[in-house]
Chains A and B, each alone.
Chain A
Amino acid sequence: MNVNPIVGVSVPRKEGRDKVTGRAQYIDDITLPGMIYGATVRSSIPRGKIRKTSFAPDIAWDEFVIVWAKDIPGKNCVALIADDQPCLAEGVVNHPEEPILLLAHPNRHILHKAISAIEIEYDPMPALFTIEESERLTEIIWGKDNTFKTYLVEKGNVDETWAKADYIVEGEYTTGAQEQLYIENNGVIAVFDLEQGITLWGSLQCPYYVHKALMKLCNLPENKVRVVQTETGGAFGGKEDYPSMIAGHAALLAMKSGKPVKIVYDRMEDMVVTTKRHPSRTRHRTAVTREGKILCGEIDFAVDGGAYATLSSVVLSRGTIHAGGPYYWPSIRISAKALATNAPPHGAFRGFGAPQSLFAMERHMDRIAAVVGISPVEVRRRNLLKAGQTTATEQVIHEPIDLNQLLERGLALSDYSAKKKRFQKENSSTIRKKGIGIATFLHGAGFTGSGERYLASVVGIEGRADGRVRVLVSSTEFGQGTKTVLCQIAAEELRLPYEAVEIAQPDTEQVPNSGPTVASRTVMVVGKLVQSAALGIRETLVNAGFLRKGYSPEEFSEACSRYVAERGEFKSWARYEAPPGIFWDDENYRGEAYAAYAWAVYIAEVTVDLATYAVSVDDFVALQEVGKVLHPILARGQITGGVAQGIGFALYEKVIWQRGRMQNGQMTNYIMPTSADLPPIRVYFEELGNVHGAFGAKGIGELPMDGPAPAIVNAIEDALGLRFDSIPVLPEDIFQTLAADSRSQSASLASQGVR
């Protein structure tokens, strides 16, 4: 064993030094000789037929490279799941800002002028903009019924249970779109030559998604498309599928011009045209006993997917499975659907459907508590899942998790009971009303159901001639510390110093497809494969007789060099295999939805100022069980960052839509939290371990996005005694709700003859 463990220690980040010195090269920092700049001409209407395109005469159009849909050598689609989204619209457009044609020019500054000199005429068609409009089917805009996907989860017999209820509690909850707002906008560079095919560098999460999309679009074989991730300035899901679109555009321009082409979006283009979190609507109907115990429930979950299918079916899946929260439901029915509207497609954003359905669940728990007349804490105590019980998909909880103990610890850390009493006493004499709210929740790590089996991710470790080892994965670093943690895992398994392990830059020519960097799967799933591949390296050296069992790092290094010298290339591969006993029924959405869950209790303390109607978060406790924490500083950073995005989701970030187009696509009018808006976020971990993850780790990245919004809105209700069931809750929403409440109070006083 290592005398000094590497896993569980905050080692220096592999990717750290270049980031603090300004040397890290992001896509816009790279300039190739002869490079020209690309731009996109987009639709100005939500839906219609393209009638005519005209070019104003005062521009030297012969200096431009122009690409139309007819120039596409392969299939005109952004290949992902359904292949329904064109790379360039042909004949019809289905949302505002849909790409229609592409321009490129050596001078990036004249592209704006050129775009505005192109006029496109349309025959407009009726368009749909909300979940309600889409489900009314007054217009069919996608498929047969505007529906990308439906799911039905059924456990027990819900219909026979309603009669046994003491109370039936109903509620409807909605969440708005949210922009990922990574600080580096989307961007790529494409180069084409006949010998090598396409090489694409870009700010992206999933190099192999882009690889697959470019093969199909450009009609090129696997070995004629190379995708390389450059340093990526944040992603959060926003660079999961969209880079396939912008990469396609740059590739088409590069193929037509024969020159390197860079496309980098400016902030407004990035905000207005790229994916956002799906807006959602969740309806709950729950049967409970007098004591507040849940008997059964029906949950209707609907998300707005925008104009094309993209990732909506998968987002819907995660939202559906998480919709029942961390509670025991003797019987439950969850019906879910993803609907089409004429907005740009919504996509992946940290949490991926779960923050939406969990917001509803956690608000609804407080509703149940209020109806039954018990506290928000008590209603959770009485319904939290216990080890051995089953989830909504009938997955047995095998982990030794004690959620009630986790809840009690959260309450103690936040001084919940004392604060709750104090706020109630003090609120009557101040216009700064204070409240405290809880959310208890879970988040499944890795792909849903059989997803990891289909992915069949591969990871490699290379022993090199210089005696060092190199990790080969397509998992990308965009702030989380991917490179650091995967190197820690390899070093620990090989009993080598952390410094002796390197990691390759994700480049489809150099690394295998270890799956996309999404779904909180990197440390748990890919990390476990890194561990297996490392084991393979060690065993090969031992079995070859090059290395004794209790080796020193120096001996390992010598053995590794010797192996390469005598036998050539030295690589060990590990491919994902589903653990035995995992059962998942894709038809009926039943079984082991995730290999492991992370569990959490978040507690928010807020002040609502009745002079300004602004809400401030004064204290935030984030307590979670995430298995083994491999790098404490990075793990804590994931939680504080996710909580901040969750606070934005709850209180600040509102996308203003007008006929399917975002109207506030600027950082000046789409407001995310600044350092002055946030409290210090207090992070606590419990580490029970997990048999499926590397050294006992579980997924962690998405979890912190799920809890803040409901905890905060529950705290606002605690402060004001008024319900808010739609987020974001902006000061104007609070003002309106208070105004409506005082109107209804005076109306009821008047009807009672009271003055």
Chain B
Amino acid sequence: MSDPRRQCEVSLIVNGESRKLRAYPMERLLDVLRQQLGIIGVKEGCGEGECGSCSVLMDGVLVNSCLVPILQADRANVVTIEGLAEGLQLHTLQQAFLECGGAQCGFCTPGIIMAACYLLNKKPLPTLDGIREGLSGNLCRCTGYTQICEAVSEAAIRENAKRENAGRMNVGSVNER
């Protein structure tokens, strides 16, 4: 295991940046992200795919990074919590979590926001039951989930309003022609 000749070369895109690295094929994506790339927003809560604290998007799909061998992530596009905000501008979900009390201790928060992100990508306006179902792979011990679900619902509404505004502006610009 500790013979570096057994390491393989892996290239992946993390939060929009191309990264090349060497790792043992069965190293967990979680460890590579945290230890080699210093992406500490990805958390380890249980190490067996149960709590969802290590959730990231891999090629647009929500995965538990503690269950992904790094070789499987070769050439993948990985997005973590660090990839959501644009500069100082928080992602709608992050802003809604802040305002609605969706984060308490904050340890499950990066994973839950990634799960919510995946959910809203699939279903832009989920029902409350849809949110509860969609987040049920991520454990939170602090909140009882009520304010998390409210935050996701609020973010969905805001994103939808943005899309509608954008739609209207497009229509407007067509008419001006």
A interface, CB within 8 angstroms of B: 10, 12-13, 15-26, 28-29, 107, 109-110, 180-185, 231-236, 266-267, 478-481, 633-634, 636-637, 640-645, 666-668, 672, 674-678, 680-681
A-facing residues in B10-65 (Cβ within 8 Å): 34, 39-48, 50-51, 53
Tell me the smallest distance from the CB of A681 to a CB of chain B, in Å. Answer: 5
B171 within 8 A of A: no
Tell me the smallest distance from the CB of A521 to a CB of chain B, in Å. Answer: 19
Given contacts A20-B98, A266-B47, whether A182 and B109 have CB atoms under 8 Å apart is: no
Question: In the complex, what distance in Å separates the CA atom of A636 from the CA atom of B148?
Answer: 12
A-B contact pairs, 20 of them (CB 8 A): A10-B101, A13-B98, A19-B105, A20-B81, A20-B103, A109-B1, A110-B2, A183-B140, A233-B108, A234-B105, A479-B105, A479-B142, A634-B101, A640-B143, A641-B142, A667-B139, A668-B50, A672-B139, A675-B145, A680-B149
The 3 closest A-B pairs by CB, nearest first: A22-B41, A233-B107, A19-B106
Tell me the smallest distance from the CB of A409 to a CB of chain B, in Å. Answer: 20
Question: In the complex, what distance in Å separates the CA atom of A667 from the CA atom of B107?
Answer: 16
In the complex, the number of residue pairs spanning A and B with C-beta atoms less than 8 Å apart equals 171
Question: In the complex, what distance in Å separates the CA atom of A236 from the CA atom of B102?
Answer: 18
Contact at B48–A24, with CB atoms within 8 Å?
Answer: no
Contact at A233–B105, with CB atoms within 8 Å?
Answer: yes
Contact at B144–A644, with CB atoms within 8 Å?
Answer: yes
Contact at A15–B149, with CB atoms within 8 Å?
Answer: no
Question: In the complex, what distance in Å separates the CA atom of A667 from the CA atom of B54?
Answer: 14
B135 within 8 A of A: yes
User: Chain B 124-135, CB within 8 Å of chain A: the 1/0 string?
Assistant: 000010011101
Instruction: Specify the chain B residue showing the minimal Cβ separation from A704.
Output: B144
Given contacts A16-B98, A22-B80, whether A644 and B103 have CB atoms under 8 Å apart is: no
Question: In the complex, what distance in Å separates the CA atom of A668 from the CA atom of B51?
Answer: 9
Contact at A675–B136, with CB atoms within 8 Å?
Answer: yes
B interface, CB within 8 angstroms of A: 1-2, 34, 39-48, 50-51, 53, 80-82, 84-85, 90, 94-95, 97-110, 113, 128, 131-133, 135-149
Contact at A641–B47, with CB atoms within 8 Å?
Answer: no
Given contacts A267-B48, A675-B149, A680-B128, whether A637 and B139 have CB atoms under 8 Å apart is: no
Instruction: Specify the chain B residue showing the minimal Cβ separation from A666.
Output: B48
Which interface residue of B43, B80, B131, B137 has the most chain A CB atoms within 10 A?
B43
Question: In the complex, what distance in Å separates the CA atom of A481 from the CA atom of B46?
Answer: 25
Instruction: Specify the chain A residue showing the minimal Cβ separation from B132.
Output: A675
Question: In the complex, what distance in Å separates the CA atom of A266 from the CA atom of B51?
Answer: 13
Given contacts A20-B97, A640-B143, A675-B132, whether A183 and B108 have CB atoms under 8 Å apart is: yes
Contact check: which of B42, B43, B105 meets A478 at CB < 8 Å? B105
Contact check: which of A28, A479, A674 meets B106 at CB < 8 Å? A479
Contact at A22–B105, with CB atoms within 8 Å?
Answer: no
Query: Could you say which residues of chain A place their CB within 8 Å of the CB of B51?
Result: 183, 667
Contact at A637–B50, with CB atoms within 8 Å?
Answer: no
Query: Could you say which residues of chain B place their CB within 8 Å of the CB of A634?
Result: 101
Contact at B144–A232, with CB atoms within 8 Å?
Answer: no
Contact at B144–A641, with CB atoms within 8 Å?
Answer: yes
Question: In the complex, what distance in Å separates the CA atom of A233 from the CA atom of B104?
Answer: 9
Contact at A183–B147, with CB atoms within 8 Å?
Answer: no
Contact at B101–A267, with CB atoms within 8 Å?
Answer: no
Instruction: Specify the chain B residue showing the minimal Cβ separation from A18.
Output: B106
Query: Could you say which residues of chain B place their CB within 8 Å of the CB of A266?
Result: 47
Tell me the smallest distance from the CB of B164 to a CB of chain A, in Å. Answer: 25
Contact at A183–B139, with CB atoms within 8 Å?
Answer: yes
Contact at A20–B90, with CB atoms within 8 Å?
Answer: yes
Tell me the smallest distance from the CB of B156 to a CB of chain A, in Å. Answer: 15
Contact at A641–B106, with CB atoms within 8 Å?
Answer: no
Tell me the smallest distance from the CB of B53 to a CB of chain A, in Å. Answer: 6
Contact at B105–A674, with CB atoms within 8 Å?
Answer: no
Contact check: which of B39, B100, B103, B149 meets A19 at CB < 8 Å? B103
Contact check: which of B41, B94, B105, B136 meets A183 at CB < 8 Å? B105
Contact at A19–B43, with CB atoms within 8 Å?
Answer: no
Contact at A637–B142, with CB atoms within 8 Å?
Answer: yes
Contact at B146–A640, with CB atoms within 8 Å?
Answer: yes
Tell me the smallest distance from the CB of A32 to a CB of chain B, in Å. Answer: 14
Contact check: which of A12, A13, A181, A641 meets B143 at CB < 8 Å? A641
Contact at A184–B107, with CB atoms within 8 Å?
Answer: yes
Instruction: Specify the chain A residue showing the minimal Cβ separation from B80.
Output: A22
Tell me the smallest distance from the CB of A420 to a CB of chain B, in Å. Answer: 25
Question: In the complex, what distance in Å separates the CA atom of A481 from the CA atom of B105?
Answer: 9
Query: Could you say which residues of chain A place their CB within 8 Å of the CB of B139?
Result: 183, 667, 672, 674
Contact check: which of B43, B105, B133 meets A182 at CB < 8 Å? B105
Tell me the smallest distance from the CB of A482 to a CB of chain B, in Å. Answer: 11
Contact at A22–B144, with CB atoms within 8 Å?
Answer: no
Question: In the complex, what distance in Å separates the CA atom of A730 from the CA atom of B131?
Answer: 26
Tell me the smallest distance from the CB of A616 to a CB of chain B, in Å. Answer: 12
Query: Could you say which residues of chain B place their CB within 8 Å of the CB of A22?
Result: 39-42, 80-82, 110
Tell me the smallest distance from the CB of B84 to a CB of chain A, in Å. Answer: 8
Query: Could you say which residues of chain B place their CB within 8 Å of the CB of A180?
Result: 141
Given contacts A636-B147, A637-B147, A666-B50, whether A20 and B109 have CB atoms under 8 Å apart is: yes
Given contacts A231-B106, A678-B144, whether A23 and B43 have CB atoms under 8 Å apart is: no
Contact check: which of B42, B46, B109, B142 meets A666 at CB < 8 Å? B46
Contact at B41–A636, with CB atoms within 8 Å?
Answer: no
Question: In the complex, what distance in Å separates the CA atom of A479 from the CA atom of B94?
Answer: 16
Given contacts A29-B40, A184-B43, A666-B46, whether A636 and B101 have CB atoms under 8 Å apart is: yes
Contact at B45–A183, with CB atoms within 8 Å?
Answer: yes
Instruction: Specify the chain B residue showing the minimal Cβ separation from A179.
Output: B141
Given contacts A182-B105, A667-B51, A675-B149, whether A20 and B142 have CB atoms under 8 Å apart is: no
Question: In the complex, what distance in Å separates the CA atom of A28 from the CA atom of B41?
Answer: 11
Tell me the smallest distance from the CB of A50 to a CB of chain B, in Å. Answer: 30
